[in-house]
Chains A and B, each alone.
Chain A
Amino acid sequence: MYRYDEFDAELVNDRAEQFRRQTARRIAGELTEEQFRPLRLMNGLYLQLHAYMLRINVPYGVMSSRQLRKLAQIARDYDKGYGHWTTRQNLQLNWIQLQETPDILKELASVEMHCIQSSGNCIRNTTADEYAGVAADEIEDPRVYAELIRQWSTLHPEFSFLPRKFKIALTGSPNDRAAVKVHDIGLIMHRNDAGKPGFEVIVGGGLGRTPFVGKTIRKFIETRELLSYLEAILRVYNRLGRRDNKYKARIKILVHETGTEEFTRMVEEEYTRLAGGALEVPQEEIDRIDAYFAPPDYRALPAASETLREKRAENPAFDAWVEQNTHAHKQPGYIIANITVKTPGRAPGDMSSDQMEAVADLSDTFSFGELRVTHRQNLTLTDVEQDRLFELWERLVELDLATANHALIGDIIACPGLDYCALANARSIPVAQEIATRFEDIKRQKDVGPLELNISGCINACGHHHVGNIGILGVDRAGEELYQLQLGGCSREDAALADITGRGFAADKITDAVETVIDTYLELRNDGETFLDTYRRVGMDPFKQKLYDAA
């Protein structure tokens, strides 16, 4: 993975020291809360319902075991001994003391981590496909470009006071696992006719109160020109994005109100002024970064492991986990293992310091000391020998992290909701827990098949409810928490926004409603159809009837 050189390290250390001085000025009363607010936000520090929340970047979701151990230690020393993995591939700590934050930033800097721009109206942590570099279906490793974007966007002097926050996601594979079409900018790698890699540029996707699937404004931009093109987009947005209304300030509204064609024309015009300029990335720099992402020291192994086959045959629980939680690796004899952080009865994405340390040990033992955070709030060990997968699984069982529900209904995305968040209208975690418990039987989950269920506790949509195959939105109706049900959303390459079923359900009825939807799908589905396939074939009506007519 990428390692800081002296320049990267100096910047992050400088920044931590700068924030120490700013915090001291705030505590001494030299800065008002209003003046301090943008400074703390650009260092990832929010003031939440009960305490300060610190959002720590895991750049493009890649981290080392050493970094994960540091996160575990910080969660233990400065918080309550656990953290929350988010859909932005970050870690949130919910019970932070302002005066201790500078020390936390210093500790993070010691392992090449930071919170720079994890909030505020600036370019946020760039997210990426969690299988980057190891997926069999990948064109090229997108992490090189994610790192280039990380550097370019860090303390960007022109783009630190944008109309609103700005999120970029990218993938090197045609199979989108990074939800790129619902980001401010989404990048999908392709090759041109000459075989050169480049990116399709998608702009103006987003969730929140006005959701949009992004529009392709350029089919192909060469990799060395990527930063120039991004700068052109950001300049158009910074100058013309709406600043009169916070809810209309994202780039999706600018694209929508200007029209895709006119917006594209403006970006292209700005790009002609920037093309081939100082932002062009020299090939030796691409090669320098690429070298950090060189494949680890794989052993020469047969494509399929006999040991793995035997163990699966002997142990049905292991077999079920392998079937559900692993993914094909491009290197013969290796496999990608997903650890779903969705143990029934717990908050999705929550992990204790003990578990983090244990998983860090597992990544050292089984996966070259590296791991990934996914936008579905899970962890991934990318480079496991098939021969040793059973051993890994046994260790995960001991840690209560071997639930075989990856990409099933139990693998729920949920925001922290009203239990933590100052913005939320309704609780998310208890709803997620109840649904996960109702569908706890893995056999039943597998019978239902691939299904993404996403829950947000408010319209800001941190839980991505618009793009869940089943989405749940918590709303407040005259003091009562009510849950709106949505169907047919998708965050993949064929992204779509979900449709609302109708009036919302009370907290004690929403799980029944989800079950009704599932039962209706099971009655209607043709052989081999996923929930999404069936929904796309039959539409909303049959579901609506079952949900509302009986009542």
Chain B
Amino acid sequence: MTLLRRGEVIEDAFASAVGEESLPADGAVIVDLAQWQAQRDALLSRGAPVGVWLRPDDDPRALADDLSKLAVVALEFPAFTDGRAYSNARILREQLSYQGELRAVGDVLLEQLHFMDRVGFDVFEVRSEDAVQAWKTASADIDVWYQPTGDGRKTALQRRWGR
């Protein structure tokens, strides 16, 4: 697996404890929603960054009060055809004002990076050897957007009217 932050390959600073009985002794860790809800205080007192992994049927609003304490929210794509995480990403970014790392994990198809970027993902777990090139291609393919998604890009409508 390669971790891509926009156009760059990065090291994964987080260990995954998803589905594990106990947490690692130290270091940055990612847990699932049930683990977070059960061990919230213990996780926060570890003194290391915490991330939460959400399955597509988890409600991101369950994290509404905790988002400022989280370093990562990872949204799972169980299959590239399962588009629920796109909505969850927008809810996190646009409605819950989440500012931290939003990571796409699971079956992340290179052809989808562009859509993921637009809904607010900034880190992508991909299988490709050539992830950087794939990112370049995905970002360069389309330059016009009709939908305002809160990613700061100007839509066709805003450009038409010089806004």
Chain A residues at the B interface, C-beta cutoff of 8 Å: 5, 7-8, 10-11, 14-15, 17-18, 21-22, 35, 38-39, 121, 151-152, 154-162, 235, 238-239, 243, 273, 277-279, 282, 284-285, 288
Q: Which residues on the B side are within 8 Å of A243 (C-beta)?
A: 82, 84
The chain B residue with its CB closest to the CB of A15 is B142
Of the candidates B86, B114, B142, the one whose C-beta lies within 8 Å of that of A158 is B86
Q: State whether A161 touches B83 (Cβ < 8 A).
A: yes
Please provide the 6 A-B residue pairs with the shortest distance between their CB atoms, ordered closest to farther: A161-B83, A278-B148, A157-B118, A7-B156, A11-B144, A157-B115
Q: State whether B81 touches A18 (Cβ < 8 A).
A: no
The chain B residue with its CB closest to the CB of A241 is B84
Of the candidates B86, B142, B147, B148, the one whose C-beta lies within 8 Å of that of A14 is B142
The chain A residue with its CB closest to the CB of B155 is A278
Q: Which residues on the B side are within 8 Å of A14 (C-beta)?
A: 141-144
Binary flags per residue of B99-141, CB closer than 8 Å to A gives 1, else 0: 0000000000101101110110000000000000000010001
Q: Provided the pairs A38-B80, A157-B149 are in contact, do residues A239 and B161 lie with their beta carbons within 8 angstroms? A: no
Interface size class of B (residues with CB under 8 A): 20 to 34
Q: Which residues on the B side are within 8 Å of A151 (C-beta)?
A: 146, 156-157
Q: Min CB distance, A35 to chain B, in Å? A: 7
Of the candidates B137, B160, B161, the one whose C-beta lies within 8 Å of that of A21 is B137
> Which parts of B70-93 form the interface with A (CB within 8 Å)?
80-84, 86-88, 90
Chain A, interface SS category:
helix
Q: Which residues on the A side are within 8 Å of B148 (C-beta)?
A: 277-279
Of the candidates A239, A279, A288, the one whose C-beta lies within 8 Å of that of B84 is A239
The chain B residue with its CB closest to the CB of A238 is B87
Of the candidates B84, B90, B161, the one whose C-beta lies within 8 Å of that of A285 is B161
Q: State whether A155 touches B137 (Cβ < 8 A).
A: no
Q: Min CB distance, A21 to chain B, in Å? A: 7
Of the candidates A5, A152, A284, the one whose C-beta lies within 8 Å of that of B147 is A152
Of the candidates B90, B111, B156, B161, the one whose C-beta lies within 8 Å of that of A284 is B161
Q: Which residues on the A side are within 8 Å of B95 (C-beta)?
A: 273
Q: State whether A238 touches B83 (Cβ < 8 A).
A: yes
Q: Min CB distance, B163 to chain A, in Å? A: 9
Q: State whether A10 touches B144 (Cβ < 8 A).
A: yes
In Å, the complex CA distance between A239 and B90 comes to 12
Q: Which residues on the B side are within 8 Å of A11 (C-beta)?
A: 142-144, 146, 156
Q: State whether B119 touches A18 (Cβ < 8 A).
A: no
The chain A residue with its CB closest to the CB of B120 is A157
Q: Provided the pairs A151-B146, A235-B87 are in contact, do residues A5 and B160 lie with their beta carbons within 8 angstroms? A: yes
Q: Which residues on the A side are within 8 Å of B145 (C-beta)?
A: 155, 157
19 more A-B residue pairs beyond the given contacts A156-B146, A277-B148, with a C-beta to C-beta distance below 8 A: A7-B159, A11-B146, A21-B137, A35-B109, A38-B111, A121-B81, A151-B156, A155-B115, A155-B146, A157-B116, A157-B149, A158-B147, A159-B83, A160-B115, A161-B82, A161-B83, A238-B86, A238-B87, A282-B157
Binary flags per residue of B38-59, CB closer than 8 Å to A gives 1, else 0: 0000000000000000000000
Q: State whether B156 touches A8 (Cβ < 8 A).
A: yes
Q: Which residues on the B side are within 8 Å of A154 (C-beta)?
A: 146
Q: Which residues on the A side are within 8 Å of B88 (C-beta)?
A: 239
In Å, the complex CA distance between A354 and B147 comes to 40
Q: Min CB distance, A444 to chain B, in Å? A: 50
A-B contacts, 20 of them at CB < 8 A, read A7-B144, A21-B141, A38-B80, A38-B81, A39-B111, A121-B81, A155-B115, A156-B147, A157-B118, A157-B119, A157-B145, A158-B86, A158-B87, A158-B90, A160-B115, A161-B112, A162-B83, A239-B84, A243-B82, A284-B161
Q: Min CB distance, A538 to chain B, in Å? A: 48
Q: Which residues on the A side are within 8 Å of B111 (C-beta)?
A: 22, 35, 38-39
In Å, the complex CA distance between A505 and B80 comes to 43
In Å, the complex CA distance between A11 and B160 comes to 14
Q: Min CB distance, A359 to chain B, in Å? A: 32
Q: Min CB distance, A19 to chain B, in Å? A: 10
> Which parts of B10-59 form the interface with A (CB within 8 Å)?
none
Q: Provided the pairs A158-B90, A239-B88 are in contact, do residues A10 and B82 lie with their beta carbons within 8 angstroms? A: no
Q: Min CB distance, A505 to chain B, in Å? A: 39
